[in-house]
Amino acid sequence: MTIQPDSSPAFADFAHPERLVSTDWLAGQLGTPGLVVVESDEDVLLYETGHIEGAVKVDWHTELNDPVTRDYVDGEAFAALLSEKGIARDDTVVIYGDKNNWWAAYALWVFTLFGHADVRLLDGGRARWEAEGRPYTTALPARPRTEYPVIDRDDRTVRAFKDEVLAHLGKSMIDVRSPEEYSGERTHMPNYPEEGALRGGHIPGAKSVPWARAVAEDGTFKPRAELEKIYLDDAGLGANDEVIAYCRIGERSAHTWFVLTHLLGFDNVRNYDGSWTEWGSAVRVPIVRGTEPGLVPAL
Amino acid sequence: MSGALDEIREEFLAIEQRERLQLLLEFSNELPALPERYVDHPDLLERVEECQSPVFIFTEVDDDSRVHLHVTAPREAPTTRGFASILAQGLDGLRVDEVLAVPDDYPLTIGLTDAVSPLRLRGMTAMLGRIKRQVREKTAA
């Protein structure tokens, strides 16, 4: 690692405390060579209204997705993006964002697909930075271009596709959407179809744990003991389980992937980014409605 | 269709993608505050459920059958504020029939589909739909 981890006692209990930094730590490290701060928000204009000094913006919608195929950018496009942002392969990247780091965690997961080694989340994200009265600037950073290498995206380790989810039925699965989406009660509002799925419900056997349960009131992650109660005791997951997490398009479940992998130390968690927008519209895949995980059909 | 909405669309289409977000931010900053007389009347405001952020709208039809639109959207949601502001500026002062004649897909025609997620743009479409419904209800009596 290029830059020493944040050794705050608050993170010491987590499986990989080096994946989190506190606002205090970040404020003290700003400007350190080898550190790049990245903002990634749900609201794509928020960065422009003010951001942490020196932070570059990564737009999840226009920069991390392929513009045509439903997929992430490939190795060449990722290399071009990071070179343009002035991020080097061995830089320490700290990502933060709005809405409990929802999209920040998603960006971190995409960085992971490309094996960027040292990528961390700012615990509490924008909300905590603001609550502490820390400053923002609208000045755009001028980072010199880098030559980020072209890395093949690894789609096997932390990513799952629909066929793999089908083969995974009966093993641990976690649905991180709202209870209404899980039960199938809510597929769309009258007259206003949402980001589309044709059927409501959840993947058979998936347990419901809405993603934001991992977050405390102040926007930081809950302590390990509380997270273990939620994911191990209540949802019945085991740290050695193979787990697949999903939501609507894979963003909220990237947040849960971060919690299970980096905070609780699960070593085999994959994010199904096709998620409900794919599963809920696919032909002849099994679906369960209601509040129970339901039976896994023999296929 | 309304002149103001046409002009706004032309303004967006005349510039490049990156600048369009900047223009949307300018709209966001221009969203007028709720008039003083409505501040204490949360009952008048209708929540736009399709928007992920708390957005509320309220339309008025005056004695001359002109429509006035009031919207509140939080500072932390500049994209949504921008959409609301486009509608507020584009629709304000139009006649009822002009508002009802605005195409439902107007939000998809202002050159933002590549810059902003579909869900967001649907939020704007939903806002427009609710505005028209309110106008219809207020002129039905």
This model of the complex carries an ipTM of: 0.79
Q: What is the pLDDT along chain A (299 residues), one digit of tens a residue?
A: 579 999 999 999 999 999 999 999 999 999 999 999 999 998 889 999 999 999 999 998 889 999 899 999 999 999 999 999 999 999 999 999 998 999 999 999 999 999 999 999 999 999 999 999 999 999 999 999 999 999 999 999 999 999 999 999 999 999 999 898 999 987 654 444 455 788 999 999 999 999 999 999 999 999 999 999 999 999 999 999 999 999 998 999 999 999 999 999 999 999 999 999 999 999 999 999 999 999 998 87
What are the chain A neighbours of B24 within 8 Å (beta carbons)?
45
Q: Are strands A56-57 and A119-122 parallel, antiparallel or unpaired?
A: unpaired
Question: Long-range contacts of range B96-103, CB-CB < 8 Å, 24 or more positions apart?
Answer: B96/B61, B96/B65, B96/B66, B96/B67, B96/B135, B96/B139, B98/B1, B98/B2, B99/B2, B99/B67, B99/B131, B99/B132, B99/B135, B100/B132, B100/B135, B100/B136, B101/B1, B102/B1, B102/B2, B102/B5, B102/B128, B102/B132, B103/B1
Q: B17: alpha, beta or left, given left = phi > 0 and alpha = psi -120 to 50?
A: alpha
Contact indicator for A254, A262 with CB cutoff of 8 Å: no
Nearest residue to A48 (alpha-carbon basis) of B121, B16, B19, B15: B19
Round to whole Å and give the CA distance between B64 and A285: 56
Tens of pLDDT, residues B43-97 = 778 888 767 778 889 999 999 999 999 999 888 889 999 999 999 999 999 999 9
Q: What's the farthest any 2 CA atoms get from each other in chain A? A: 58
Best mutation target among A42, A43, A126, A128 (most B Cβ atoms within 10 Å) is: A43
Backbone angles phi, psi at A79, to 5 degrees: -60, -40
Round to whole Å and give the CA distance between A104 and A95: 6
Comparing CB atoms, the residue among B25, B76, B80 nearest residue A98 is B76
Round to whole Å and give the CA distance between A20 and B113: 34
Length of chain A: 299
- Reading the block at residue B88, the tokens are 């507020």
Round to whole Å and give the CA distance between A222 and A89: 31
The answer to whether B22 contacts A67, with C-beta atoms less than 8 Å apart, is no
Round to whole Å and give the CA distance between A1 and A163: 36
Best mutation target among B16, B18, B25 (most A Cβ atoms within 10 Å) is: B25
Interface of B with A in 104-133 (CB under 8 A): 114-120, 122, 125-126, 129
Active site residue: A121, A247, A263, A288, which one?
A247
Told to judge if A165 belongs to the known catalytic residues of this protein, a careful annotator would answer: no
Give residues with Cβ within 8 angstroms of B105, minimum separation 6.
B125
Round to whole Å and give the CA distance between B108 and B114: 10
End-to-end Cα, chain A, rounded Å: 45
Nearest residue to B82 (alpha-carbon basis) of B16, B22, B28: B28
CB atoms within 10 A of CB A240: 10
